[in-house]
Amino acid sequence: MLDLNLLKHLEGYLTENRLKRFDTILSQRTKHFTVATEDVYQLHNTSAVMRTCDVFGIQELNVIEEVNSKHIDREIAMGAQKWVDLNRYSSVKTCIDDLKQKGYQIVATTPHTNDCNLIDFDISKKSCFFFGRETEGLSQYVMKHADCFLKIPMVGFTESLNISVSAAIILQQVTSKLRKSDIDWQLSDKDIIEKRFDWIKKTIKDYDAIVERYQSGT
């Protein structure tokens, strides 16, 4: 049970500008779209994808670490690790099963016989965009269980982009269309309250001590 009185008490430790900033950003956050990276080898790529998620209002990033397991590079993420929720999975199967249970369609971002151009992508469905390893791309498991395939049209000699660049192009396009639509894409009231608690906890020094004093009535 979320204690709204406690939330109001904690907000008293923040400046008015910080509270307004929280309100503005939370109003633009979404779980309608999410992102998954599959065993990305280069740490800076996952960190950059997290930063991209924050920039375009994607609240959750799913990281599959079946082979490669590393921590987010704070310098590259530029603080995004404080604001974007990170879900870690030890297998691609577990990740896909969980996402499908949450109602997401699996979108493999790779050229395919039955692929869809980015500009034609249907934004109405909850979607998780999967990005694969730097050299091998997405695994056969993702390709087999994907609901659709998405590609970024290219006209040069180069046939692929860095995953963080691909993520930025795709998220900019789909979130821009989403915000112009009539789709109910924003966070629920419950999600917003939970995020306010979470972000305040990551902002206030001595958070635990403040909560303990509040609960003891001192």
Residue 40 — pLDDT band, cuts 50, 70, 90?
confident
The residue that leads in pLDDT, 73 or 69, is: 69
Predicted local distance difference test score (pLDDT) of residue 71 = 55
Domain boundaries, the chain: 1-29+191-218, 31-185
pLDDT tens profile 88-113:
998 999 999 999 999 999 999 987 77
The H-assigned helical ranges of 12-157 are 16-26, 43-55, 74-77, 92-101, 140-145
Question: Which H/E stretch holds residue 179?
Answer: helix 163-179
Residue 101 CB neighbour total at 10 angstroms: 8
Q: pLDDT over 90 for what percent of the chain?
A: 66
Predicted local distance difference test score (pLDDT) of residue 110 = 84
CATH number for the domain formed by residue range(s) 31-185: 3.40.1280.10
Predicted local distance difference test score (pLDDT) of residue 45 = 79
